[in-house]
Each structure stands twice: as structure tokens, then as C-alpha cells.
Structure 1
Amino acid sequence: MSFLKNSIDLYISSSIHVSLAVVSLSVITFLEFGMAPDYDLLFFIFFGTITGYNFVKYAGIAKLKHLSLTRNLRIIQVFSLFCFLAEIYFFLIQSIEVIVLAIVLGLFTLFYAVPFLGRKRNLRSLSGIKIFVIALSWAGATVLLPAMTSMDFLLWDVVVEFLQRLLLVVVLMLPFEIRDLKYDLAALSTLPQQIGVKRTKILGYALLSIILVLEFFQENFMWINFLTLGLTLFILGGFLLKSKIDQHPYFASLWVESVPVIWLVVLLLLRNFV
């Protein structure tokens, strides 16, 4: 049992799970735009997400405790190095448009973790914007990057999809924000800190409703996409309803973060059997 728990912890801590969630959202974009998935781009997004998240989470820890790292952290360090090398390879074979946007998104990740504003402040330390920086990065990586691999899409649909994805990631982050309420510094001014847990949930439900309504503004509207989105938002709403400060360690980091994967699986099943 301890081996299974340690394996799950390593799977989550190494950012493989969150990377699968980001890749799932990218594949959904390809499918909804009627484009064939670009596997080189998907591998780049996968390895880039692992590299970025592990850099943000562990760079400071590794610097301070490099002589006394835990076994799992050493494994993550080596794993992250290989992922970084793979990310560089897949980065170099992308189109110039994808490379430029990827650099911009990469700078968001860098400035999220590295102080650049004076007094050792970074984007993460700015009051109230942490969740929106993450949402912008996810939306850019999972909507704009796939769209740039082909010109065979409607620009309006890209705009709508980007807004939907931005709002979806904000709601995905809310269970994490609620969980971290007892750990976050007051200066971060997260949504639960500013408006409380109950109002944060109400805001989340409102955003889920907006996401669903926005689907009707897609010029290339498809009922299968609408139904799978509706089911996904219903599941996410259920997780948001159950979110609390004292939650199970795997509630947000494993189950909530599985929502994009569930969305992709349902979409593929419906497209193949309906």
C-alpha cells in the first residue's frame, strides 16, 4: 500500500498528471477545430509543462537543500532534466510562429518564479493575479499553440475557445485556492481570501455558466462538443461544490486535475460511437 501511495505521490509531484491535463486540453482544441493533432507540438507541450511546473515548484528547494534532498526529489530532478532536453528538441522543430508564442508563454513561467520587480518580487507575489497568470498560460498553450499549427480554422472560434479555456482554468484552480487558504500569505489576495469560500464557489458556478453559453457563439457549433462540454462543466461544478479547506490530499491534485482528461475521453467516445 505504501508503494502504491508513493507511486501516486511521485506521479503527481513530478507534474506528469498536470501535464496530461494540459495535453488533453490541447488535443480537445485540435478535435474541436477539425484539425489532425500535431504530435510534435503535443510532446513539446507535455515536456514543457513538466519542465515549467517542476522549475516553479522545486528550483528554490533544490538550491537550499541540494545536499539533503529526499529520494523522490532526486528522482524528479533527474526526470526533469530529461524532460527539459526533450522539450528543447521538440521546441526546435516547431514553426517560427509557435516558437515565438512559446517563448512568450515561457517568460510568464520564468517571471512567475524568478524575482524581477524589485524587493525579490515575482508574478506569483503580486496581489490577486496568481490564478489569472496560470489561466492565461494554460489557455495560450492549449488553444493558441494548436491553432498556430494550421490556418484551417475560424479566427472567431479561436477567440471564443480562448475565452472559454481561460475561464475553465480559473474554475479548475478554485479548489486549489480553497485548499491553500490556510497556507497562503494574506498578501497574495487569492479569491477565497478576498470574498470567502462560499462566494468563491458562487463565482465559479457563474463562470461555468458563461463558458457553456459561450459555446453557442462558436461559428462551427457542434452538438457533440456542446454535450461533452456540458458534462465536463457539470463534473467540475460537482468538484467545486465538494471543495473545502480541509480536503483529502488527492482531491484537487489528482481528481480535480483529471477533469480535462475525462473531457477528452468522453469527447473521443462520443465522436467514435455517435
Structure 2
Amino acid sequence: MRIFKYIFDFYIQSSLHVALAVYALICITFFKLNISYDEPVAYFGFFGTIVGYNFIKYDELARIKKIKLTKTFKAIIFLSILSALATFYYYLELKTKTKLIGFGALLLTILYTLPFFPHRTNMRNWSGLKIYLVAIAWVGVTVLLPVINADMDFSIIVILKCIQRFFFVFILMLIFEIIDLQFDEKFLETIPQKLGEKQTKNLIYLLVLVFLALEYFKPNITLNQFAVTFLVAIILGLLTYFASSKRNKYFTSFWVESMPFFWLILLLVFS
């Protein structure tokens, strides 16, 4: 059993799980906007997420806290290097205008991690900013990249998809922040720190309704499409209901981050 726990923990800690979540959201965009499967976009998003998230998670630990190079950490570094090479390869395969969005995501990651401004910490520690940065970055990678690389016009459907995706990621991040109440420093001023756990959950329920309503207002929406979004909204509500600062790390790092998989599976089942 120990070997399975080690493999599972490595899967989570190395950002493979969150990278697959990004890959799933990109595939959802392909599916919902009738875009043919675009390998460079899908794999750029997947491998780029591994590099970006591992850089964000481990850069400060390596630079400031000087953590020991354990076997697990060495394996994560090795995976990140391979992923960086793959990211660069698929970046070159993107269309020129799409590369600008990809470069913007890279710049945002660097600003998010490293302190570029005098007398300020990195953007990750700017009070109340983290949740919005993550949501915007995910919209850019999982919606804008596929749309731009497919030479699609920015129709009302695409705009609604961007807004809906923002709310989806924003909801997931709020659940994360509820769980992290026990760990977050007070200066971060997260939404649960300001509103409290109960009021944050009420806010999430409201945002879930907005997320669902955005599906209803899309042109030519089918019953199956709305049913899928309705089920996704129900699952989001259940995750919110059971979220608590007393939950263990796997509740968010695995179950909450699995939401894109549930969404993609439901789309495939109901298609």
C-alpha cells in the first residue's frame, strides 16, 4: 500500500493531476465550440501547466527555504525539465498570434512567483489578488488559446464561454480557500478570511447559479448541453457543502481538481 500512496502523492505533488485538469478543460472547449482536436494547444496547456505550477510551488522553497533534494523532489525537477522541453516544442507549433497568449501566460507565472517590484512581495502574496489571477490565467489557456489557434471569431458564444469558465475556476478557487483557512496567513485577505466560511459558501452557491444561467443564455443551447451543465452545477454545490477548513489536503488537491474530468465525462456520455 505504501508504494501506491507514494505514486499517488507524487501524482498530486508533481502537478500531473492539475495538468490533466487543464487538458480536460481544453478538450471541453474543443467539444463545446466544435473545434477539431488541436494537439499543439492541448499539449502546450498540459506540459505548460506542469512547468508553471511546479515553478510556483517549489521556486520559493528552493530559493529561500533551501529544501533538501529528496528523491521525490529530484523526480519532480526531472519531470519539470522534460515538461519544459515539451512545452517549448509545442509552443513552436502554435500559430504566431497564439504564441502571444502563451507568452502572456508565462509572464504572468513569473510575475506571480518572483518579486519584481521594490518593497513588494510576489503577486501570489498580494492581498486578495491570487484567486483572480488564477481564474484569468485558466480562461486564457483553456478557452482563448484553442479559440485563437483555430482562427475563430469572438462571437457571443465565445465571450459567454470565457465568462462561464472564469466563474467555474473562481468557484473552485473559493473552495480551495475555504480548505486553506487553517494555513493561509492573515495578510493574504482571502475571501473566506473576510467573509467567513458560511458566507463564502453562500457566495459560491450564488456563483454556481450564475454559472448555470450563463449556459441557458447561449444561442442554440440543447437540452443535453443544459443537463450536463446542471449536473456540473450540482456537483459544485455538493463540493461546496462538504468543504471545510478541517478537510484534509486530498479534498481539494484531488477531488475538487477532478471537476474538469467529471465535466468532460458528462459531456461525452450525453453527446
**Letter of the aligned partner of 1:109 in structure 2?**
T
Q: Which moved more, 1:173-182 or 1:191-200?
A: 173-182
Counterpart check, 1:148 vs 2:156 = no
Q: Tell me what 1:102 maps to.
A: 102
1:4 CA displacement: 1.1
1:49 CA displacement: 0.5
1:60 CA displacement: 2.0
- What are the residue-to-residue correspondences of 1:30-179 with 2, within 5 Å? 30-64=30-64, 68-152=68-152, 155-179=155-179
1:151 CA displacement: 3.2
1:154 CA displacement: 5.6
Structure 2 gap segments, 5+ residues each: none
Secondary structure of the residue aligned to 1:102 is helix
Structure 1 gap segments, 5+ residues each: none
Secondary structure of the residue aligned to 1:127 is coil
1:219 CA displacement: 2.0
Does the 8 Å contact 1:157/1:220 carry over to 2?
A: no
C-alpha separation in 1, matches of 2:263 and 2:164 = 14
Secondary structure of the residue aligned to 1:177 is helix
Secondary structure of the residue aligned to 1:35 is coil
Q: Which moved more, 1:162-171 or 1:59-68?
A: 59-68
1:64 CA displacement: 4.5
Q: Tell me what 2:196 maps to.
A: 196
- What are the residue-to-residue correspondences of 1:202-213 with 2, within 5 Å? 202-213=202-213
Q: TM-score, normalised by structure 1?
A: 0.95
**Letter of the aligned partner of 1:34 in structure 2?**
N
Secondary structure of the residue aligned to 2:149 is coil
Q: Tell me what 1:259 maps to.
A: 259
C-alpha separation in 1, matches of 2:35 and 2:250 = 34
Q: Tell me what 2:13 maps to.
A: 13
C-alpha separation in 1, matches of 2:102 and 2:154 = 21
- Provide, for residues 54-98 of structure 1, a one-character-per-residue CA deviation record: whole Å limited to 9, x for no partner: 000011222346672221111100110000010000001100111
How large is the RMSD of aligned CA atoms in angstroms?
1.4
Does the 8 Å contact 2:22/2:260 carry over to 1?
A: yes
- Provide, for residues 123-161 of structure 1, a one-character-per-residue CA deviation record: whole Å limited to 9, x for no partner: 112111111100000011111111112234561111100
C-alpha separation in 1, matches of 2:34 and 2:97 = 20
C-alpha separation in 2, matches of 1:67 and 1:18 = 23
Q: Which moved more, 1:157-166 or 1:224-233?
A: 224-233
**Letter of the aligned partner of 2:221 in structure 1?**
F
1:39 CA displacement: 1.3
C-alpha separation in 1, matches of 2:180 and 2:113 = 18
CA 1:41–1:119: 2 relative to 1, 3 Å: same
Does the 8 Å contact 2:127/2:190 carry over to 1?
A: yes
Q: Which moved more, 1:136-145 or 1:55-64?
A: 55-64
Does the 8 Å contact 1:33/1:153 carry over to 2?
A: no
C-alpha separation in 2, matches of 1:152 and 1:27 = 16
1:224 CA displacement: 2.1
Identity score, percent: 38
C-alpha separation in 1, matches of 2:51 and 2:170 = 22
